Amino acid sequence: MLLTGRAFGLAGVGLLCVAAMAGTSTVAFADDTEQVDAMAAVEGIAPEVLEGVASPDSADGDASTYVASGVDITVPKDAGDGAVLQAGNHELTVSLPFANQAATAVDVGGGLTTFDNQNSSTTAPIAREDGSLQILTIIDDASAPTRYDYDLSVPSGGQMTIREDGVVIVTDRDGGFAGTVAPAWAKDATGAPVGTHYEVQGNTLTQVVEHAPGTQYPVVADPWLGITLFKSFKRDTYHGDHRYSAWVTGPGALVLSGGGGVGGYAAGQAVFRGAGWDEWKAKWPAITNKATLQQQYNCHVAASVYGLPFTQDYNLERYRANRSNWVAGVASHRCNW
């Protein structure tokens, strides 16, 4: 079955993808003029995506590897090898578009590589410090394709679906969270949005970029993928007992939003109460030894409905008493009872 989901430029939830990475950075360019122009286009049109780029932990002839917020990210030097995100036993692989014809990767400095697709488009995979992966597409002119395919390693029996807000959710055979892709976005040379949307056919995610003669080139677009909901786990002491903290990732915030509305939030909260809590337990198995910790966690998840800052850090404080009726008064106690 063919599914479609649309996001208009950087509007709505799609804006969160970019806002979460706001800022600029300077990239050292290689001597290859075509590749230099591609990254110069990114820097000129969407400089915010060059903030928060992870530095490679190792690089050899086959790939660059990154360890970012507990996620191992592999970016290949041969487009045919695809990219990989792995956290514990959880792994998601994604192919690069036009891999069968793309040139060998070019190192453009700052830990970044690009692939000339030899069809007036360039692919630039970017590993991020929060453990996510952006795969930028730079479109040179009207002769470039409008469709860019990404094959994802959807778990056996699982599926890939597009929510109404354009967020793509990957689930396993039991409906458990296995990954997410932020809403599609694209911008032209002036920074104006270009129509774009995703389509799903089996395990293939296609970004359709609606550029045409008359579009101001170059155009920059991308899918932004993540497999974790939290980052920056930390344990310290507060009131003489353990305090556990972590931050919601950018992709995680999109999942939690559920697309907005009561029903949407309910869906996002279900993912966080399941897969999100599993991430905390994997980090600290002993976190289950006092009920208040999970109660505080569930409270933070639910707080998003009340407009509280769910993208801030979650602080779970063991000294607090168990409170099975924590739902009462969330807007006032703010998970600190």
- CA torsion, ordered 46, 164, 277, 328, to nearest 10 deg: 110
Res 294: pLDDT: 97
In degrees rounded to 5, what are phi and psi of residue 288? -85, 5
CB contact at 8 A, 293 and 287: yes
pLDDT at 264: 64
12: alpha, beta or left? (left if phi > 0; alpha if psi -120 to 50): left
What are the sequence ranges of the domains in the chain?
2-226, 230-333
pLDDT (0 to 100) of residue 11: 32
Alpha carbon separation from 195 to 48, 207, 281 (Å, rounded): 20, 11, 41
pLDDT of residue 307: 53
pTM of the model: 0.85
Residue 5 pLDDT: 45
Rounded mean pLDDT for each run of 10 residues along the chain, 337 residues in total: 38 35 34 63 92 89 91 95 94 97 89 92 95 96 97 96 91 93 95 96 97 94 95 95 94 80 71 94 95 95 65 87 90 84
Which CATH number among 2.70.98, 2.60.120, 3.90.1570, 2.30.29 corresponds to the domain 2-226?
Answer: 2.70.98
- pLDDT for 165 equals 85
CA distances from 183 to 8, 69, 152 (A): 9, 22, 16
- Within 8 A by CB and 6+ apart from 134, the residues are 49, 125, 126, 128, 222, 223, 224, 225
Residue (of 223, 149, 245) closest to 179 by Cα position: 223
Q: What was the pLDDT predicted at 213?
A: 86
